[in-house]
């Protein structure tokens, strides 16, 4: 929900052929307005604050912290006290940034962890009381569409169908875009699977006493993801016969791309918009699948915070590459937050 006059962004139409993303006319932006997008996911809390500039925007502040809100959710069905405390602490920092930057309009969303938890609504209330931030629990479809709005500009040019995916902490969203090279792609179909890096890691742990056992555990993880994607795979039969473009947005694909490039540390300028051969990412996945958590923690661009979750992301990604066997994929370090910002700015602008 956008906070200022509490005007929510328009919801997508229900039923029938999915509508496209409306192109923006020439706009005159309100003077000195600052906008913010907050995304509280199953694993991360992310904030982006920006001002309009031309047909885009310039970022004036940002915040990201791993909070693991969905930790233990698969076993209990509830958000744990410790997880909620971590999230509230991060959201308090976000609230201070919103105040300090004099944000005019903000939309704050929560995704799979809050959708699934039996105490999700109670947590939303606590956040409002303690931080002043009013979180909106969005649907999986809204989440998928926002991700596409935020990153579709990085799709390779081409006239074939395209698949966009977002591997989250608690779920994975897949979006099929229509054929053609239109500046604003049309959504043909979408799907949400209940496995993300946190939920899959907890439900199908990657454990073993040696490399062989670790690879067996990895195969089980990948099979779970493959089974979850099966209903969507059946709908993709015609389009997948000539798979075209593939675009991924998530910490998984940006991390794996960093490992592929052997970067000494994460560098967004080298990752956002990078095009990688699918076989090269499969090779990185194969390497990680045979390593223990301690061995993965020593790798640059992974570290201790991602070491226990990255293999689940690898398994989900491989299942997607099997589903949509494109020769290469584009990598996006952008998504829901950028989609929210574009929606807020378009709705708040006036025709020039």
| pLDDT (tens place) for every residue of the chain, 352 residues total | 566 533 333 333 323 333 333 334 445 555 568 999 999 999 999 999 999 988 789 999 999 999 999 999 999 999 999 999 999 999 999 999 999 999 999 999 999 999 999 999 999 999 999 999 999 999 999 999 999 999 999 999 887 889 999 999 999 999 999 887 777 788 999 999 999 999 999 999 999 999 999 999 999 999 999 999 999 999 987 766 666 799 999 899 999 999 999 999 999 999 999 999 999 999 999 999 999 999 999 998 998 989 999 999 999 999 999 999 999 999 999 999 999 999 999 887 644 3
> What confidence score (pLDDT) does residue 19 get?
31
CB-CB contact of 109 with 94 (8 Å):
no
In CATH terms, the fold of domain 2-141+337-351 is Nucleotidyltransferase; domain 5 (3.30.420)
Q: What pLDDT, on the 0 to 100 scale, is given for residue 178? A: 86
Alpha carbons 337 and 341: distance in angstroms, whole number: 6
pTM: 0.86
Beta strands in the chain (DSSP E): 2-3, 27-28, 35-40, 44-53, 56-66, 105-110, 136-137, 162-167, 172-177, 187-193, 245-249, 275-277, 328-332, 350-351
Asked if 28 contacts 350 with a C-beta cutoff of 8 angstroms, the reply is yes
* CATH classification for the domain delimited by 154-336, as one of 3.40.30.10, 3.30.420.150, 3.20.20.370, 1.10.10.10: 3.30.420.150
pLDDT value of position 149: 92
Residue 137: predicted pLDDT: 97
154-336 has the same fold as 2-141+337-351? yes
What is the C-alpha separation between 151 and 24, in angstroms, rounded?
16
DSSP state of 203: H
Residues 302-337: b if buried by 16+ CB within 10 A, e if exposed: beeebbbbbbbbbbbbbbbbebbebeebbbbbbbbb
Give the integer Cα–Cα distance in Å for 199 and 43: 10
State the first-to-last Cα distance of the chain, in angstroms, to the nearest integer: 26
Residue 351: the pLDDT is: 46
Domain boundaries, the chain: 2-141+337-351, 154-336
């Amino acid at each position: 929900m956008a906070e200022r006059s509490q005007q929510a962004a328009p919801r997508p139409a229900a039923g029938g052929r999915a509508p496209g993303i409306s192109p923006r006319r020439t706009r005159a932006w309100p003077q000195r307005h600052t906008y913010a997008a907050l995304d509280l996911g199953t694993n991360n809390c992310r904030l982006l604050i920006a001002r309009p500039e031309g047909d885009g925007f310039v970022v004036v502040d940002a915040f990201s912290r791993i909070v693991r809100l969905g930790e233990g959710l698969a076993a209990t069905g509830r958000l744990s006290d410790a997880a909620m405390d971590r999230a509230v602490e991060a959201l308090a920092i976000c609230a201070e940034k919103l105040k300090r930057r004099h944000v005019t309009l903000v939309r704050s969303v929560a995704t799979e962890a809050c959708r699934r938890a039996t105490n999700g609504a109670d947590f939303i209330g606590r956040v409002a009381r303690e931080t002043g931030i009013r979180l909106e629990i969005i649907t999986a479809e809204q989440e998928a569409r926002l991700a596409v709005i935020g990153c579709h500009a990085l799709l390779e040019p081409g006239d074939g169908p395209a698949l966009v995916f977002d591997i989250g902490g608690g779920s994975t969203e897949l979006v099929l875009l229509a054929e053609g090279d239109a500046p604003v792609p049309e959504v043909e179909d979408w799907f949400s699977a209940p496995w993300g890096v946190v939920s899959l890691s907890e439900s199908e742990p990657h454990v073993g006493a040696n490399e062989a056992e670790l690879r067996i555990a990895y195969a089980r993880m990948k099979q779970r993801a493959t089974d979850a994607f099966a209903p969507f795979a059946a709908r993709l039969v015609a389009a997948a016969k000539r798979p075209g473009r593939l675009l991924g947005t998530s910490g998984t694909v940006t991390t794996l791309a960093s490992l592929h490039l052997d970067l000494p540390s994460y560098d967004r300028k080298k990752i956002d918009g990078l095009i990688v051969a699918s076989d090269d990412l499969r090779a990185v996945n194969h390497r990680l699948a045979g390593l223990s958590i301690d061995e993965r923690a020593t790798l640059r661009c992974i570290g201790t915070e991602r070491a226990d979750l990255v293999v689940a992301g690898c398994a989900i990604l491989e299942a997607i590459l099997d589903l949509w066997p494109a020769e290469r994929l584009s990598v996006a370090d952008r998504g829901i937050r950028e989609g929210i910002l574009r929606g807020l700015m378009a709705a708040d602008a006036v025709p020039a």
